[in-house]
Structure 1
Amino acid sequence: MLQTGPAKRAYVETYGCQMNLSDGELMEGLLAARGYEIVRNPEDADVVLVNTCAIREHAETRVLGRVSQLNGLKRENPGLVIGVTGCMAQRLGTTLLEQAPYVDLVMGPDGYRSLPDALERIASRRASRAGTQLAVLELDATENYQGLEQRRAEGPVAWVPVQRGCDHRCTFCIVPYVRGPEKNRDAADVIAEVEGLVAGGVSEVTLLGQTVNSYRSGDTTFPMLLRRIARMPGIRRVRFTSPHPSDVTPELVEVMAEEPAVCEHLHLPAQSGSDRTLKRMLRRYTVAELLQKVALVREAVPDVAISTDIIVAFPGETDAEFRETLDLMRTVRFDEAYTYKYSMRDGTPAARLPAEEFLGADEAQARLAELIAVSRGIAAEINAGEVGRVEEVLIERPGRKEGQLLAHTRRNKVVSFEGDAGRVGEYTRVELCSTSGATFHGVEVTA
């Protein structure tokens, strides 16, 4: 139980994107450096931090329900500190403290450096019987957490954030308002982090940024950074996410084609197949320009797998414009698509569009269902055509079933096959024998 000093057992529960997962590791690293034991169950913790996403309303609703559940632990242990961090915390701010008085801390994405001190302040306030609720919500135009060490789970893969925030300000997106402007780490700091990861057994890194390929630090552009990391001793695979189509340049594609360590996979968030909708989203490219990017990449990297993000039912989207998005899906034939209904985010330009332009829930759901059916059908056809291929895979973790391993191909396809759990971190070759949804089932090729 928390008494007069900071809690010594902390639990971090993360929701949302890869950057959020990286932020969760950052918070664990900061707390571990101050003497906290990181535990894997909230029941064992003195501090519970819920690291949140604000991209869609559903994500926030889910987290609010989870925070309410955690209040049950606080009733059993009144000394428990409950904190809500991340994008939802930044968006809701002190309103969250009013709605959930059992929450002690709300902290936005730029406040993590002060997390241990904030917990000490809460402990001090409790000792003096003062109000314990604390909000740390200042956006910092320079905070990129350079020089801080994350606490990563053991394994052969790691996230490496190179950029935080975003300057694009797409009209549907809350990210620039909760994460602030683009902030890039020094290239030397990124390189030093990767060197440390390699020394710890990591052989695959994923470079992270909200629009990662717009990265620039001094004279170092993203293609230059990607090439340097791809050539580092001990690095066998490099991935990056999430790029913006506007910054998929010939220089970037050249690095993808020339550097053996750069994986043959590109996530290319299209968002829509309608020029009018793209313009209203402020995406700054046309469908024709997007298709040119796809052609450029496929010409240079013929075996590349391309995934995407798509939003349907953006305000004002007509049925004909939705059909244009389906046409884009069929034209490009994305290996995988992450598909969503538009979710209004207060404070974004799209939220201020005329009310009559917002589609009804039934129509939005029908469009999403049709998009998912088309997307899954294309992915199933692509995957069926890959059965019989022999692929290099990196064994990342044991599967749910005993004697089963889970791995990824260079093209980011998930493969399940039989093997010993002690082989995590090894590379091997697997024949792809069948598919189940997005997962391949394979047999190891030893000859």
Structure 2
Amino acid sequence: MTNAELNELKQRYVANGAASPAVEFAARAENAELWDEDGKRFIDFAGGIGVLNIGHRHPKVVEAVKAQLDRVMHTCQTVMPYEGYVRVAQKLSEVTPVRGHAKVMLANSGAEALENAVKVARAATGRSGVICFTGGYHGRTFMTMAMNGKVAPYRNDFGPMPGQVYRAPYPVESIGVSEEEALRHLKMVLKSDANPRDTAAIVIEPVLGEGGFHAAPKRFLEAIREICDEHGILMIVDEVQSGFGRTGKLFAIEHSGVEPDIMTMAKSMADGMPISAVVGTDKVMDASGGNSLGGTYTGSPVSCAAVLAVLEVFEEERILEKSQALGEKLRARFDKWQQDYASVANARNLGAMAAFDLVSDKKSAQPNTEMAAKLCKTARERGMILLSCGLYGNTIRFLMPVTISDEVLEEGLDLIEKMLSEFGA
């Protein structure tokens, strides 16, 4: 079908809240390139919002999925378990830097992982309060909507949120929140709103995803660990977007050396197949009763096969080294743009998790949301998928596959540079 025909069907049958604003429909993809139903090519700098760190349709993952389809597609692992679930649990327990021996539960999405992480924390502590951070994004289920540190568009229309979710500021120097100020406010939350005796967990992204690609300072993460230890609170680290090689390490928290009690992960762990995981210290993960965690499709055989293939690709193709190298290339180009364009500011990266802000001018640092929207819109028209994010929508984030070729990468960066020049940035 053509894009136009599919758009007509979309308008007629897809719920407004779930319908993509894009008018192009993906027909095929390869590594960092997509082609729509009309045959137009796109450079993919979004990677399915951080799902495709090893690229669209990596051959090893495709082969593993096809092989699994010839054996078992589904049984529900609580009814009839299978090797893949256990092997994925073993592998994740070996590579995830939580305290002590780790155990694992698998789910379907990042939001499900966060929901279950909170369930586990409540079971392990006998407490119910949860502290999160401004700018954080954890999902679209009711508990995770309450945890999100950004209102629009995620919880505008859905009524009261679950209670006992409290919020502290995330340290972002460029918007005026220092590490010291953020820590002071967190301690104030524990004094004024969230009684430590009733608080089950503090949940944090080591690098904000939707909130603007800001990395938490090492000392801030260490301070959260200390606060959790002091009060018997569990530290939950959300690596759904920052995990699986995006930052140059398998998980972003590894840059700090801090070991959380629970970690959540999803997105690039299966290169496009739907799966997520909650990994935590064994005593914590075993706190809830039998059959209290899971679901019909959690840890499906096909998705588990994809995870195991992804982990092999990371070793065989030195993906973490490629992520670091990609981050260096992006940062070098960003630094040039900061010198050449008055509107480009606050370039930043941790490995290949990279971004810059668009501002009206560097002196006022007023967010230029309109230019960010125009850049993404024009990029789409010219054959590139580019995403904005941040509290003010003025951050341009980069989530292209780590496996992107140098030629395609430079083609995409040159296109962005050309647009910045045209816009008078």
Rg larger in structure: 1
Name the structure with the higher strand share: 1
The TM-score normalised by the length of structure 1 is 0.27
Highest RCO, 1 vs 2 (Cα 8 Å, sep ≥ 6): 2
